[in-house]
């Protein structure tokens, strides 16, 4: 009998996360005891994709894997994130978890940060999509049968007309030149609602796309305004 590592999957609710989870489950290398998602403590929505908690819970229920959410301060920084995650890691370490699984592709600095944070607890980092190109990940996603819609785009790169569209080969081929197929440069974010990962489709509604702007501090100390199209999931 093959030994399976007791693991936690760090769940975003989007396409890459869904594909990575599907690959992890099918590999039979892991006993995945929980999904883990950070949420904005004020809005109750996921930190990256603004998915409301009830839809995160619906996704988890449909996968058959329990969900743990970690609330973060609305305007918190990396220190607050690290502190909140430390409590989550300690919680799962006490349950015998030895592996945290993520859906990263090739962001080396992100993976290094994760490894540095988890190594003191003796917890390994697993990345089922690691080393694949964006094109290879998108080909696997399309072939998998998973279904995701675009909920947010960077407005100067992808227009309003992309909001609410289901990811498929035709849509990806319609992207303007220079757009990463997987949106690895932040071009777009998604919500995964159906496919072989789920026992049943996730019911949701999507509001009208709105143009929003966020001022984000950069590493050099300056601030840049980013513009997005975003539709609210409910």
pLDDT digits (tens, 9 = 90+) for 111-125: 888 899 899 999 999
| Total residues found in the chain within this entry | 234
pLDDT computed for residue 225 by the predictor: 87
SS3 of 88-153: the string is: HHHHHHCCCCCEEECCCCCCHHHHHHHHHHHHHHCCEEECCCCCCCHHHHHHHHHHHCCEEEEEEE
pLDDT computed for residue 93 by the predictor: 96
pLDDT computed for residue 124 by the predictor: 96
Model confidence at 76, pLDDT cuts 50, 70, 90, reads low
Query: Going by DSSP bridges, is the β-strand pair 210-217/67-72 parallel, antiparallel, or unpaired?
Result: unpaired
SS3 of 149-181: the string is: EEEEEECCCCCHHHCCCECCHHHHHCCCCCCCC
> 129 pLDDT exceeds 60?
yes
pLDDT computed for residue 226 by the predictor: 86
User: In the predicted model, what is the mean pLDDT of residues 9-15?
Assistant: 96
> 94 pLDDT exceeds 80?
yes
3-state secondary structure of 203: coil
Q: How many whole angstroms separate alpha carbon 207 and alpha carbon 223?
A: 29
Q: Write down all domains in the chain, each with its CATH number in brackets.
A: 5-126 (3.40.50.620), 146-230 (no CATH)
CA angle, residues 75, 53, 119, in degrees to nearest 5: 65
Query: Per mean pLDDT, which range of 102-106, 160-164, 170-174 is the poorest?
Result: 102-106
Query: Going by DSSP bridges, is the β-strand pair 188-194/147-154 parallel, antiparallel, or unpaired?
Result: antiparallel
Q: Which two tokens stand for residue 100?
A: 């945290």
User: In the predicted model, what is the mean pLDDT of residues 152-171?
Assistant: 96
Name every residue whose Cβ is closer than 8 Å to that of residue 132 and which is 6 or more positions away in sequence: 105, 106, 140
């Amino acid at each position: 009998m093959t030994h399976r590592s007791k693991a936690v999957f760090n769940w975003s609710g989007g396409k890459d996360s869904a594909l990575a989870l599907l690959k992890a489950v099918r590999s039979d290398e892991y006993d995945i005891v929980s999904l883990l998602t950070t949420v904005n403590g004020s809005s109750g929505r996921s930190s990256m994709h603004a998915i409301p908690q009830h839809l995160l819970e619906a996704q988890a229920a449909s996968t058959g894997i329990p969900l743990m959410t970690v609330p973060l301060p609305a305007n918190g920084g990396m220190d607050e994130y690290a502190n909140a995650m430390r409590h989550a890691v300690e919680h799962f370490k006490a349950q015998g978890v030895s592996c945290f699984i993520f859906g990263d592709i090739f962001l080396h600095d992100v993976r290094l940060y994760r490894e540095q944070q988890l190594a003191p607890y003796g917890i390994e980092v697993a990345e089922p999509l690691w080393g694949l190109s964006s094109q290879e990940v998108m080909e696997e996603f399309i072939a998998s049968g998973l279904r995701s819609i675009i909920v947010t785009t960077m407005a100067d790169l992808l227009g309003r007309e992309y909001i609410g569209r289901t990811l498929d080969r035709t849509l990806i081929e319609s992207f303007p030149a220079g757009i990463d197929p997987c949106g690895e440069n932040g071009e777009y974010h998604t919500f995964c609602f159906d496919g072989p990962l789920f026992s049943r489709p996730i019911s949701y509604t999507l509001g009208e796309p709105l143009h929003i702007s966020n001022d984000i501090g950069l590493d050099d100390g300056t601030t840049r305004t980013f513009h997005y199209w975003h539709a609210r999931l409910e």
